Amino acid sequence: RAAAGESHDGTLRAVRADVLALSGERDESDDSNESNNSNESDERSRSEAAFPRSEPLPDAVDAVYACNLPAELQRPTVALAERLDAACLFTTLGFEEPTVRVRRRSIGGTTLYVAREETGVDNGETCRR
């Protein structure tokens, strides 16, 4: 969906962020129990820069897509897509089955899991899960 005044040119904006923080599923206690790993700190900083917690998430998000999504992040990723009212599609690590309800699509030998669809995705069918 393009926001008011934006074109429908098919542009893609990729954002690397902490899905647990953005989905609202991170406990306050998680911050105090985390290690001092600089990669985790950098990831949280990027998440805050992309979508500060004090501001609402953007309205114009069509889909949340994750490549090689581990099982423990599937539920929070779907929750984030629901919060954004966006489609949710992902691939897994290959050896794991999805832990959320999905429809399977095969694209070029890769299985794409569709956990949440928008109208216009998948031949116009609507499937919200």
Residue 1 has pLDDT above 60, yes or no: no
Give me the pLDDT at residue 113, please: 97
| pLDDT score at 126 | 41
pLDDT of 127 reads 44
Task: Indicate the average pLDDT of the chain.
Answer: 73
Is a pLDDT exceeding 50 seen at residue 129? no
Strand partners, 90: 66, 113
Question: pLDDT: is 75 or 121 the higher one?
Answer: 75
Residue listed under structure tokens 């820069």 = 49
Of residues 24 and 52, which shows the higher confidence score?
24
CA 120 – CA 117 distance, rounded (Å): 8
Q: What is the mean pLDDT of residues 100-122?
A: 85
Write the CA distances from 64 to 41, 60, 119, integer angstroms: 23, 12, 15
The residue extents of the domains of the chain are 19-116
For the segment 38-90, what is each residue's pLDDT rounded down to a tens digit? 555 554 454 445 555 555 655 678 899 999 999 999 999 999 999 888 999 99
Percentage of the chain with pLDDT > 90? 35
